[in-house]
Chain A
Amino acid sequence: MSEIEPFVGIDLGTTNSVVATVIDGVPRVIANRIGQVLTPSVVAVSKNGKKLVGNIAKRQAITNPDSTVFAAKRLIGRRWGSKEVEDARRVLPYQLVPGPEGHDVRVVLGGRTFAIPEVSAMVLAELKADAEAFFGRRVTKAVVTVPAYFNDGQRQATKDAGRIAGFEVLRIINEPTSAALAYGFGKQMEKKVVVFDLGGGTFDVSVLDIGKSVYDVVAVGGDTYLGGEDFDRRIMDWLSFSFAKENQGIDLRQDTMALQRLRDSAEKAKIELSSVQSASIHLPFLAAAGEGKAALHLAKQLTREKLEELTKDLVDRCIQVTERTLRDAGIRPSQVGEVLLVGGMTRMPRVQQAVKQFFSRDPSRGVHPEEVVALGAAIQAHALLYPQKDREVLLLDVTPQNLGIMVVGGYFATIIPKNTTVPTSQTHVFTTVQDQQTSVRIAVLQGESEKAVENELLGEFILDGIRPAKRGEVEIEVAFDISADGIVGVSARDVDTGQRQSITVTATSGLTENELRRILDENLDELLERKQSGEFERLRERAQIMIGEIESLVPQVREALTRSHFGKDALQKAEGVVARARAAIASQDLQQMATNDEQLDRTVQLFKGLAGGAPIPGGEA
């Protein structure tokens, strides 16, 4: 097994990320370099301009809230001006700005703007480094998971993040599918499984029909804006409201540092309440009371009952989505053979109760609901790289939302309906509506509303170079396809001539290809720089050792060398080499160092030989 190229499966979560692999047929999680399985999906730029990722970034979040990015997943692939982004701007302590084209979202960190995929890429790169430390060699192949309900833009952006981090992303797979894969791995299963995945920021439900190692997804549903962070926010609101009531209306939410402390304690209390009935929250010196007064403290007791009351509607929403998804799948709760709980939020007793009540059966959960998604991704990566005869696995996933185009009147015409097994494709014939029309603009959307504007705009495709003719005479067949990653592709051809039409994509929510290339180049430069500095260190060390050797040998060989004309010349040359090497070290000229290295080496060999009594060679030194 050791000769195969290492690969990983990555669960890129809203709050935490996990990396896993398969070794000798056994899936296993890779701990990070500080020995933890969960790496916080947090990225920061410290005051002195250093990039921080993971635990170290999370730890300094309180003191550096406006340069610490968490929950980037909630923004990835989102459109500037969308409701989700507007909501995020209100509650997030860090600054968001629109991208250069005005479509995507950028975050300002340490005076520089980063695209969201760049931020996610930092987390991925950290996990990559952890995996490389584990394997002791380079790791490039990865399967990355996304919520099943992610649309094309979000998937594309996640794939871009993988590329920026230096991965070859084999496949983007859905988190619930991945969890089911890990759960069913090595078992002989023939049943319908529902995966209920309530994570840090997203909620997903998938219905799978599993049999003969084929994981056939029947329907998916979800809410990409419903997760543990919403539960935390309810606690934070409750804390800050009661604090304001007790302290003459001081609004803690205006203070980013206090807000960060509230966030941390809310999350902690929520986790505690999964195992105990009551949790105390103590935040001393939380706010200043004003000139000359003592600082204000916060001390509250939160009971499980109160938490359930604060978050009742969130749990209800999960059940509503589940109900709808089952209806889409055409099955009743009683026909479900297994209910699988995934994601940290499913540790909450109230969530488990609600699921149990809905399905009238006890749900199953692994020991580590946070790890199964990454394990499933690793299994899929393994299956995609090294198909096994005995342990074959085939995932058949579906597209989560209707894919369609905008038609006259601002309506949405579905071309590929949701819950269609991917990969899939569908063609649609467009015709010109004006005489001599040479271009057609097609708005491609994804969503479930009849009105075009209420759906997510994936992009505008401009078909140009259409041959001029009377209106309605030219028919252009546009093929929409959805890959196994759930990513949408569009191509077009003239029905009569069969000629392919060029398509220009505008107004996407992601990075443009040029921008992506620029970021990749920058990263490469950085990498090169880092590599060069390593190489330089190595050469400098070698050169200094060799210079030392030469200088110590010179007294011994000087006499022998000065005896011949050739020897004098060799001595002169050796002095020249040493001088040049010193100069190169001083100017940090890597190129020159590499040239000098060889000459220094030869000089050392020559001098060592002479010192050992060898005759003076006939050639140049």
Chain B
Amino acid sequence: MPVDRFQGFVFNPADLSEDVDLDPERRREILFVHGHLADWNHWQLLGLPWNAPADRAREAYREKVKVFHPDRYPGRRLGSYRARLEQVFRRLTEARDALSNDATRAAYAKQSAPPEEFARAEARRLDEAERAAERRARLARTNPLVARAGRVHDLLDRGRKALAEGKFAQAVNDLSTALAMDPALADAKALLQEARKRALADKAKDYWDKAHAAEAVNNLELALEMATAAAAADPSNPRYPVFAARMALRRGSLEDARGHAEAALRAAPTYGPAHEVLGEALAEQGDKAGARRELERALELDPGLESARERLKRLRWSFLG
């Protein structure tokens, strides 16, 4: 018993007995393919496995059209078979057109993929992404131009990361190197500015901590030095010069104290403690009216400054006394 070429396809006896010049086997072949036009995909129509390569599609097409092109039956009576042949031929041509072009073939393959093939393709895609990264790295090692571009890219990435992690000095370092290699990196410029600002603030805070530590052990000289450095690193924060002014006051360098206090007021004219420390310095210098004015202003801006209130009281008492 031979294998059933037509996979149990049910033929209409009327079609098989139509009075046309075609042998029974050819009729079955035409009816079989025509009957499957609606449910076969392009590859099935061409008799190929799913995702067969483009040249196989072209080859299969050439074989198939020899059966299904109406020109192959000149002078024969074809009856209803003529229309069937033409329809099959058009579908074959459609299939060839879609599968012999790499771009459309890939799109069609994706769309017509059986489920297990789809999973396999997905795995392959991930694998390929990994391999592509590897390929890029290898290329970077060998090609100086690509290497340079890759290096700039890496520096930028590292700088960004350091910035996010709070390693501002590291970020400034990386970003300025990247910019030196490729001055056209616009976003790197903005990042660098930000990193610099943050790095300085960081440094100031560092000095600030050291200043407090020095004060705790009563090393007023070092405390003053550190506070001055913090103020220089981050001039926007008035707390640093205020602290420096206090240290100077305690060391008796009144001019220094006044200078720091005024610097603090330049940075933040409405900062109460700055007015307070300036008032104290003025008081020490003997300018009582000036001192009272500054202390009152300090209390006006920051009524919670008990030390200022005390100082003001003392001033009034000495005035009264």
Binary flags per residue of B71-82, CB closer than 8 Å to A gives 1, else 0? 111110000000
**CB pair B62 A216 closer than 8 Å:** yes
**Which of B65, B69, B74 is within 8 Å of A385, CB to CB?**
B74
Question: Which bracket fits the contact residues of A?
Answer: 20 to 34
Interface stretch among B85-93, B193-201, B249-257?
Answer: B85-93
**Across-interface contacts of B290 in A (CB, < 8 A):** none
A229 adjacent to chain B (CB < 8 Å): no
- In Å, the complex CA distance between A249 and B75 comes to 64
**CB pair B62 A484 closer than 8 Å:** no
Interface residues of A in 207-256 (CB under 8 A from B): 209, 211-212, 214, 216
**CB pair A387 B72 closer than 8 Å:** yes
B153 adjacent to chain A (CB < 8 Å): no
**Which of B58, B73, B86 is within 8 Å of A209, CB to CB?**
B58
A344 adjacent to chain B (CB < 8 Å): no
**Which of A209, A212, A395, A423 is within 8 Å of B89, CB to CB?**
A423
- Which residue of chain A is the closest to B102 with respect to CB atoms? A330
A392 adjacent to chain B (CB < 8 Å): yes
- Which residue of chain B is the closest to A380 with respect to CB atoms? B71
* Count, chain B residues at interface, CB 8 A: 20
Distance from B83 Cβ to chain A, minimum over Cβ atoms (Å): 11
Distance from A164 Cβ to chain B, minimum over Cβ atoms (Å): 24
**Across-interface contacts of B65 in A (CB, < 8 A):** 214, 394, 396
**Across-interface contacts of A211 in B (CB, < 8 A):** 58-59, 62
A431 adjacent to chain B (CB < 8 Å): no
Interface residues of A in 373-429 (CB under 8 A from B): 383-387, 392, 394-396, 420-421, 423-425
**Across-interface contacts of A424 in B (CB, < 8 A):** 90, 93
**CB pair B71 A395 closer than 8 Å:** yes
B interface majority secondary structure: helix
**CB pair A214 B74 closer than 8 Å:** no
Binary flags per residue of B28-61, CB closer than 8 Å to A gives 1, else 0? 0000000000000000000000000000001101
**CB pair A423 B70 closer than 8 Å:** yes
**Across-interface contacts of B58 in A (CB, < 8 A):** 209, 211, 216
Distance from A142 Cβ to chain B, minimum over Cβ atoms (Å): 14
**Across-interface contacts of A484 in B (CB, < 8 A):** 70-71
**Across-interface contacts of A216 in B (CB, < 8 A):** 58, 61-62
Supposing A212-B63, A424-B90, A425-B90 touch, asked if A394 and B71 sit within 8 A by C-beta, the answer is yes
**CB pair B71 A384 closer than 8 Å:** yes
- In Å, the complex CA distance between A216 and B55 comes to 14
- Which residue of chain B is the closest to A423 with respect to CB atoms? B86
- Which residue of chain B is the closest to A210 with respect to CB atoms? B62
B101 adjacent to chain A (CB < 8 Å): yes
**Across-interface contacts of A385 in B (CB, < 8 A):** 74-75
**Which of B59, B63, B74 is within 8 Å of A387, CB to CB?**
B74
**CB pair A394 B69 closer than 8 Å:** yes
- Which residue of chain B is the closest to A395 with respect to CB atoms? B71
- Which residue of chain B is the closest to A426 with respect to CB atoms? B90
B66 adjacent to chain A (CB < 8 Å): yes
Supposing A211-B62, A384-B74 touch, asked if A396 and B69 sit within 8 A by C-beta, the answer is yes
- In Å, the complex CA distance between A385 and B69 comes to 15
- In Å, the complex CA distance between A143 and B89 comes to 22
Distance from A419 Cβ to chain B, minimum over Cβ atoms (Å): 9
Distance from A191 Cβ to chain B, minimum over Cβ atoms (Å): 12
**Across-interface contacts of B75 in A (CB, < 8 A):** 385
Binary flags per residue of A524-536, CB closer than 8 Å to B gives 1, else 0? 0000000000000
**Across-interface contacts of A396 in B (CB, < 8 A):** 65, 69, 93
**Which of B59, B66, B93, B97 is within 8 Å of A394, CB to CB?**
B66
- In Å, the complex CA distance between A392 and B65 comes to 12
Supposing A423-B86, A424-B93 touch, asked if A330 and B70 sit within 8 A by C-beta, the answer is no
**Across-interface contacts of A212 in B (CB, < 8 A):** 59, 62-63, 66
**Across-interface contacts of A383 in B (CB, < 8 A):** 71, 74
- In Å, the complex CA distance between A421 and B93 comes to 7
**CB pair A214 B90 closer than 8 Å:** no
- Which residue of chain A is the closest to B103 with respect to CB atoms? A330
- In Å, the complex CA distance between A424 and B69 comes to 12
- Which residue of chain B is the closest to A214 with respect to CB atoms? B62
**Across-interface contacts of B63 in A (CB, < 8 A):** 212
Q: What 7 A-B pairs come out closest when comparing CB atoms? A: A214-B62, A421-B93, A212-B62, A384-B74, A211-B62, A394-B69, A385-B74
**Interchain Cβ contacts under 8 Å between A and B, 5 examples:** A216-B62, A383-B71, A387-B73, A387-B74, A396-B93
Other CB < 8 Å A-B pairs besides A392-B66, A423-B89, 7 of them? A212-B59, A212-B66, A214-B62, A216-B62, A394-B72, A396-B69, A423-B90
